[in-house]
Amino acid sequence: MKRIMGNYFDLAADVAARQQYPLSYLSDRHGDADEWRKKARAAVKSLLGYEPPETPLDPVLHDSYTKDGLAYSHVSYAQPFGPRTGGILLRPEHADGLLPGVLALHDHGGFKYYGKEKITEPNGHPKIMEDYKAQYYGGRAWAAELARRGYIVFVPDLFLWGSRKMDPDSVPEQYVRGMTSKEKDGVAYIEAYNEFAAAHEDVIAKTLIEAGATWPGLMLSDDMRALDFLLTRPGVDADNIGCGGLSGGGLRTVFLAAMDERVKCSICVGFMSTSAEFALHKVHTHTWMMYLPGLSNYMDFSDLYSLHGRKPTMVMYDEDDELYTPKGQHDADERLRAIYKKMDAPELYEGLFFPGPHKFDAEMQEIAFAFFDKWLK
């Protein structure tokens, strides 16, 4: 059998097999769940390697309007480095009083030209997103659908997506050849940008690691800052905050729920497996933004999500998802069930399997919305 590691597969398999995951809650070393979470979170924080300088949010409202029963606000806020983060805040048009808040996290998808537009339907919504939504979201803008059910939903662009994307004009010409000959904002240019952004991930990841930071560290920092912004919005019930997303959005959910106590309830869609199955069989199907050097010396990837603790936690698995092995998905589900059982909170974890490929379709969305309703309302 041919594998990515070729005739050195056994080397990787040996390293993976010898991992003891000392900071997994399944280890016999841990009893008190709160003490374990404190110790494990500290270890993960040390690995993340990114502590940005304090920077005022300096929020700006760029546009507001109502559409299909929702009030849309296009906003931005400052970041310590790079462009301001653009985001879309959605709430029911005639909402009164406090409403639960949800940070809706867009995916990776190999499509970095747009971010927040993937799961919303703002004025001027790019047509190129329609086929994308049809493939991955059942043709729906799930953040808008959730807002209509009585939530204040915020959808921010992530580091390197949409408003936060890398400016090709700031990069040496050899990395962006061919883009300058295409009409900006045309389909050909967007496709060329996505190709450039995919190829440039190697450079970005190596630069961050060599400098002493990590991509997951920047990703988490961006999402925690988005949560900072959401909690400043009038009408948001700070005691009832959720987050969720598909694929790269599921990855973001894992890190944010694990490391930010303000998240009460979370839903990870289409991003869960074990570290061994990632390493040995599916490392090539995933982005650099998931790899946290040294994590496997402490815990399995599924253990990371369990740092959410005794809080409502859902994972949605697609049975025919080519990004993961079936074994990896089922082993991760079993680990999470065992962890929540050991925490005396088995009712707080739900792992659901759905037929079909990588997606977050209408059926799955309705189940996710009901989960948010149960725990946030």
Q: What is the mean pLDDT of residues 247-255?
A: 98
Name which of 196, 193, 323 is nearest 247 in CA terms: 323
Find out whether 180 and 196 touch, Cβ atoms under 8 Å.
Answer: no
Residue type, 100: P
pLDDT at 183: 66
**Which residue bears the tokens 């999402």?**
223
User: CA-CA distance, 290 to 303, in Å (whole number)?
Assistant: 14
- Min mean pLDDT across 177-181, 219-223, 277-281, 371-375 is at 177-181
Find out whether 75 and 60 touch, Cβ atoms under 8 Å.
Answer: yes
pLDDT at 179: 73
- For 246, the token pair is 């598909």
Q: Is the pLDDT of residue 10 over 90?
A: yes
What backbone torsions phi and psi does residue 346 show, to the nearest 5 degrees?
-60, -25
pLDDT at 125: 85
Proportion of the chain above pLDDT 70, given as a percent: 98
Looking at per-residue pLDDT, the higher value among 96 and 314 belongs to 314
Q: Is the pLDDT of residue 181 over 70?
A: no
Burial class (CB in 10 A: 0-12, 13-18, 19+), 182: middle
Tens of pLDDT, residues 288-312 = 999 999 999 999 999 999 999 999 9
User: CA-CA distance, 192 to 199, in Å (whole number)?
Assistant: 11
User: CA-CA distance, 156 to 33, in Å (whole number)?
Assistant: 32
pLDDT at 283: 93
- Min mean pLDDT across 148-162, 180-194, 355-369 is at 180-194
Q: What is the mean pLDDT of the chain?
A: 96
Contacts 24+ apart (CB under 8 A), 189-198: 190/113, 190/128, 193/112, 193/113, 193/165, 193/168, 194/110, 194/111, 194/112, 194/113, 196/168, 197/112, 197/113, 197/160, 197/165, 197/166, 198/110, 198/112
Q: Is the pLDDT of residue 180 over 80?
A: no
- Domains annotated for the chain, with CATH where assigned, are 1-165+213-377 (3.40.50.1820)
Tens of pLDDT, residues 214-230 = 999 999 999 999 999 99
Q: Is the pLDDT of residue 75 over 90?
A: yes
Name which of 44, 82, 24, 58 is nearest 222 in CA terms: 82
Write the CB contacts of 169 (distance below 8 Å, at least 6 apart in sequence): none
pLDDT at 173: 86
Q: What is the mean pLDDT of residues 71-88?
A: 98
Beta strands 236-246 and 70-77: pairing type?
Answer: unpaired
Q: What is the mean pLDDT of residues 369-376?
A: 98
